[in-house]
Amino acid sequence: MIKAWEEKLGAELEKREAKRLTRSIIATERAVEPVLVRNGRRFLNFSSNNYLGLANHPAIIEAIRNGAKRGAGATASRYIIGHEAETDQLEKEIAEWKGTEAALVFPNGYMANLGVLTSLLGRSDAVFSDRLNHASIVDGIRLSGAHHFRYRHGDLDHLESLLRKADEKGIQRKLIVTDSVFSMDGDQAPLQGLVWLKERHGAALMLDEAHASGVWGGKGEGLAHALGVERHVDIHMGTFSKAFGLYGAYVAGNRLWVEYIKQTCRPLIYTTGLPPSLVSGIRQALALVIGEQGRRERLHRNSEQLRTALIQMGLDLRGSSTQIIPLMAGSEEKALQFSKRLEEKGILAVAIRPPTVPEGTSRLRLSLMATHTKEHLRQVISTIKEVWMNES
Ligand SMILES: *Cc1c(COP(=O)(O)O)cnc(C)c1O
């Protein structure tokens, strides 16, 4: 009977290969730096989410080392063994930074989204989710069993018509959930409009600031703060795995919401606490994120310079206004080929294909770092120009 499994697995893999959807994971050194190494070859790194260049910061690494002196692991769920005072301290600092009453740390962003959505939503609730939201949001919604309304990307009119539909069905509790900065498009959610709609329809709003935490706002609080709408967000979520350069995630909001999540969130209850080294590392990274505005400024300057140059070449950037810049290719084949040509010339920009992005919108995803130099930018611009001209 095992044969039935082997047939299925083999056939599925072949199907993926035929559609050029197979993914490979490649041994890579120095991925934390603007220039990384693969097979002994150096590549300019335009593929990481280490936006502020903190992933190799000596103070963070030192904090991790010191944290590890207290033990290698947390040894059990926080609900069983408890947590160090340092974890309390970190959660207080996060709440203060976000301007909320309370905060919770999670092992990672995927679990935070899955956990919060399954904890809050039940079958009688409705959730309104942007079509381009991150997979962890989609999975959380599916697992929750709530009525799932997907609105066209950034389309407030479509969202409003769906909110009305839910009202007509007599659904009491509505939750709007969105990425603040979209991970594969680099554009921003229309937060002011979303806030207006949520107030008007009595819905709650959850914001995933994975790509905005550390990057937007005067202290890197996120896009909601940058736009001055943070008080209207009921659940703030973000990660320490991108601009913070580490691993882990947070959820922040009013005491009532956070306490409810703490009491009911299975992915938090049934998992081991964060290791002491990580807690210490995140605290140090948070201090740097708050204090080092210069890194944000360098990142934004780099992003703007690259976007301007690419737009001048006539490339379609899909409304990117951030450190994430997509170069639209269309087919999987074309995206892979474009990525390969750049790689041959020493530049790493990964091809993004379905199911990460919708069918027919395969692309290259370029991501900037504060630590990219003028020379790195000059090189990526001239190489894209050369490759793009030859291809099209
Ligand atoms: C990366 C990402 C996550 C998942 O965070 P991890 O800490 O990597 O698990 C969640 N949401 C968005 C929008 C992301 O880009």
Residue 97 tokens, joined: 């930074």
Å from CA of 237 to ligand 1 middle: 10
> What pLDDT score does 392 carry?
61
Residues of the chain with pLDDT below 50 are none
Residue 365 Cβ < 6 Å to ligand 1: no
The pLDDT of residue 389 is 76
Distance 109 CA to ligand 1 centre (A): 5
136 pocket-lining for ligand 1 (C-beta < 6 Å): yes
Residue range 272-319, pLDDT digits in tens: 999 999 999 999 999 999 999 999 999 999 999 999 999 999 998 999
Ligand 1: distance of its center to the CA of 240 in Å? 9
Q: Residue 102 corresponds to which tokens in the numbers above?
A: 């309370």
The pLDDT, as a whole number, for residue 189 is: 98
Give the position, in ligand 1's atom list, of the atom nearest the Cα of 247. Answer: 7
Nearest atom in ligand 1 to 248's CA: 7
CA of 110 to the centre of ligand 1 (A): 6
210 lines ligand 1 (CB under 6 A): yes
pLDDT of residue 285: 98
In the prediction, which pLDDT does 100 show? 98
Per residue in 207-227, pLDDT (tens digit) is: 999 999 999 999 999 999 999
Q: Is any ligand 1 atom within 6 A of the Cβ of residue 109? A: yes
Q: Supply the residues annotated as catalytic.
A: 183, 211, 242
